């Protein structure tokens, strides 16, 4: 039975277990499968967020589903380029295996082992919250958006990078779908030795909410849309929204 066919509570546990299993090879697989282009997507997300927020001193950036810490690394790097001072970087993830890798890469950051729906941080304590290629793995997505809103300061930003469906179909999306379903799983499996994990990726995208659907969910949770942009044949989509 596929992970996606499980009951919600079982599904979430299996997803976390899957990421524990592939943690040691996750960074390598990401770079190979995206041919390194995901780096430009992450940098763009950080740069735009700093522009929209418009402050040079930020208390806290929280990266949910932080995995091996990649996005936090780019938050730090891009903040230095933009001359933005960040007091604290916080990573949140339910996978011990992923966070263990993150701690080795970025020992000066703070970490919590927690779900996106139960983040142990105070109300209105974060300036920016990001989740990159992780919201698709959160079973109770709408509840997570409410939790993000709780944690963010007034006019704080939520920054989402994700593989999402679009209601509009064209030839580029068909090419993308072929890559996702016919090539990517076997590249990921060759690196990680876990075919199930990288078969789950395209399947989860196919069963995921559309860009338009996610925008509505964010609005329902008390956010207003600031920016939506798709990259590289619409493989990846960036959404930036502000807490009202």
Over the stretch 138-183, which tens digit does the pLDDT of each residue have? 999 999 999 999 999 999 999 999 987 666 666 766 776 777 777 7
Q: Choose among 150, 97, 153: nearest CA to 120.
A: 150
Q: Choose among 226, 13, 14, 231: nearest CA to 133.
A: 231
Q: What residues make up the domain containing 148?
A: 3-243
Q: Choose among 82, 77, 90: nearest CA to 56.
A: 82
Predicted local confidence at residue 225, as pLDDT? 98
Long-range contacts of 31-39 (CB under 8 A, 24+ apart): 32/187, 32/191, 33/184, 33/187, 33/188, 37/231, 37/232, 38/236, 39/74
171 burial level (CB within 10 Å; 0-12, 13-18, 19+): exposed
Q: Which residues are annotated as a binding site?
A: 68, 93
Dihedral angle of Cα 65, 151, 88, 96, to the nearest 10 degrees: -30
Over the stretch 67-93, which tens digit does the pLDDT of each residue have? 999 999 999 999 999 999 999 999 999
Number of domains in the chain: 1
Instruction: For residues 223 and 241, give the distance between their C-alpha atoms in angstroms, rounded to a whole number.
Output: 6
Q: Choose among 66, 33, 9: nearest CA to 197.
A: 33
Q: Choose among 216, 223, 217: nearest CA to 128.
A: 223
Predicted local confidence at residue 153, as pLDDT? 98
For the record, the structure tokens of 51 come out as 């522009």
Q: What is the CATH number of the domain that holds 221?
A: 3.40.50.150
142 sits in which H/E element: helix 141-151
Question: Buried b vs exposed e over 69-94: b needs ≥16 C-beta within 10 Å?
Answer: bbbbbbbbebbeeeebebeebbbbbb
pTM of the model: 0.85
pLDDT of 230 above 60: yes
Q: Which residues are annotated as a binding site for S-adenosyl-L-methionine?
A: 68, 93
């Amino acid at each position: 039975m596929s992970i996606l066919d499980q009951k919600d509570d079982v599904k979430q546990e299996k997803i976390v277990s899957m990421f524990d299993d592939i943690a040691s090879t996750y960074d390598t697989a990401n770079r190979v499968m995206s041919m390194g282009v995901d780096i430009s997507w992450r940098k763009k997300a950080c740069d735009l967020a700093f522009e929209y927020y418009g402050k040079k001193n930020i208390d806290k950036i929280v990266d949910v589903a932080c995995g091996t810490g990649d996005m936090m690394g780019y938050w730090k790097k891009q903040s230095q380029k933009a001359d933005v001072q960040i007091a604290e970087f916080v990573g949140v993830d339910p996978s011990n295996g992923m966070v263990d890798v993150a701690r080795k890469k970025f020992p000066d950051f703070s970490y919590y082992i927690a779900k996106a729906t139960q983040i142990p941080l105070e109300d209105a304590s974060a300036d920016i919250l990001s989740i990159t290629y992780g919201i698709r793995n959160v079973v109770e997505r709408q509840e997570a958006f409410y939790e993000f809103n709780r944690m963010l300061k007034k006019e704080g930003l939520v920054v989402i990078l994700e593989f999402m469906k679009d209601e509009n179909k064209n030839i580029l999306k068909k090419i993308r779908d072929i890559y996702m379903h016919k090539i990517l799983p076997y590249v990921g499996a060759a690196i990680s030795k876990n075919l199930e994990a990288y078969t789950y990726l395209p399947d989860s995208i196919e069963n995921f909410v559309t860009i338009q659907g996610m925008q509505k969910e964010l609005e329902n949770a008390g956010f207003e849309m600031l920016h939506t942009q798709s990259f590289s044949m619409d493989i990846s989509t960036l959404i930036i929204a502000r807490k009202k």
